[in-house]
Amino acid sequence: MKTYHGKGVYGAIAFGTTAMYQRESFDVSSHVAKEIPAEFARLERANEIAFQQLRELQSKAKEETNASLAQIFEGHEMLLADQEFQTLIKQKISEESCNAEHAVSEAAKEIADMFSSLGDPMLSERSSDICDVAERLILCLASVSDGQGTHKDVASQTKVAEGATTGADPIVCGSMTSGANLILCAQDLTPSDTMKLDKDRILAFVTAQGSLTSHVAILAKGRRIPAVVGIGEEFLKDLKDGEPIIVDGFTGTVYINPDSATRLAMLRKQAESKDESERLQSLKDKESITLDGTKVEICANIGSAQEAADALECGADGIGLFRSEFLYLSGKDLPSEEEQFKSYRKVLELMGDKRVVIRTLDIGADKQLDSLQLAHEENPALGLRAIRLCLTQPSLFKTQLRALYRASVYGNLGILFPMITCTSEVTQIQSICEEVRSELEKEGIPYNEMTELGIMIETPAAALISDRLAPLVDFFSIGTNDLTQYTLALDRQNASLEPFCDTHHEAVMRLIKTAVENARANRIPVAICGELASDPSLTETFLRMGVHELSVSPASVLPLRAAIRNIRL
């Protein structure tokens, strides 16, 4: 038996046999193009097919996961349509008189290298995405030429290559052409690969490369596929098709040719996991009350209107954080007031009397919007982002506030403002909100006058002056992810800094305690929002501080409820 350790993506156990997956190699060598216009025509037709495939993948992702994960492929569509990418491809075809395949490969490499060189994990993920898009486009190019320069009709292109006939077709390769209970083993996968995995046959996957923040990992979790990523190159050496394998998605452990004792232990763990899942489901309609009677609200963090349904299904007491920036990132243009209003209204109506806290646009140079044309920044985490961006672009800010106030009559809305550092920012926000309310009154548009305004405590500055901020607002939400990052002067997305990222650091905990005490002194509610909210080792600590609301991912709601019901303060 051989044992390997990586990073577990989705908590489940899978038993199966190995199926080696190697990416199909493409001929992207440079060939002299006889007719440049003909290569342009091939490119145009290949783009049409690729767009159709991506729309199919979006639909599949929405059906099997949720709308926010489907946005990964909306992002791919945006990359494919990107003017710079398409212009660069055509430029290479023209200047080098080369075939479209070579031009796509070279253009993608240039853009991917540019993203990777910026050193930002989010932009590095876009590097992976552009490679995925380029591979799709090259496959599609193969379908619009018979190798003799004759171009086929796009409508007849239902087959691109075996295992990649359309955007949503399942992967087929190697020993995977037959059999079931397979564990896919690969160097790495793309988001497209992950969505095409046939779950009836492929029970799990293991990759030598990859991280927990990659789109591949996020999609695997969304599709509830046990997976281990970043297991290392050693794993693939001497590995063959058909070997017995067990994947422990809880711990990130993989066993090749497991012995009987290991198999028995994993079977026991699998059964216990199933029992635990059933036990948690029984808590869906129960309250989160400690053994001594302290009631706690457990809310959900969501990124789209569709995810609100997931929150209800998981028994959330409300929405503690609706990340509105996904509305801005999912299209080529800025969302209109009407588009935003409909999205906010949908969530509020779905949640009924349950409170919904919607965070205003939290975006900056690290989450680039072509429509805003934000300047490149060397340190975007400390740059023009979130409330700073909104206050410098009041028309952008007011459009969102109008949509929020219009939607407020359809439910229990709280508006949350991110990245606050001083009282003057709060007074500016209140002034703009008053302008918006006055405009709506003049136009005869109803809004809820009791809509609460809150701020995120996610900078050390906000925590330290929380005694002055608390009297100005209706509630606090403590964003522990950024608070940890800024307090420790540490990029939490940088994997190489993981040994230095002490999320329980005394300084972080002191700042949280300060903010909670000042919120309670001013009789306003305070919630913990971020990864620490679902950390079971901190739950009792937060409750003893006086925190009575925790906001977590929908999947963490029931485990957290179970933990709280076993605590005595």
Which residues are known to be catalytic? 215, 529
CA distance 41 to 152: 11
Phi, psi of 323, rounded to the nearest 5 degrees: -80, 100
- What is the pairing mode between strands 202-207 and 227-229? parallel
Q: Distance from first CA to last CA of the chain, Å, rounded? A: 46
Calpha distance 23→230 (Å, rounded) = 17
Element (H, E) at 429: helix 423-442
Beta bridge pairs of residue 359: 323, 416
List for the chain the helix, strand, coil content (%; round to 5).
50, 15, 35
Q: Which residues contact 472 (CB under 8 A, 6 or more apart)?
A: 423, 426, 427, 430
State how far the Cα of 10 lies from the Cα of 205, in Å rounded to an integer.
11
Handedness of CA 537, 539, 544, 550 (dihedral sign): positive
DSSP per-residue letters across 190-224: -HHHHHH--TTTEEEEEESS--TTSHHHHHHHHTT
HSE-up of residue 332 (Cα within 13 Å, Cβ side): 8
Which run of H or of E encompasses 355? Answer: strand 355-359
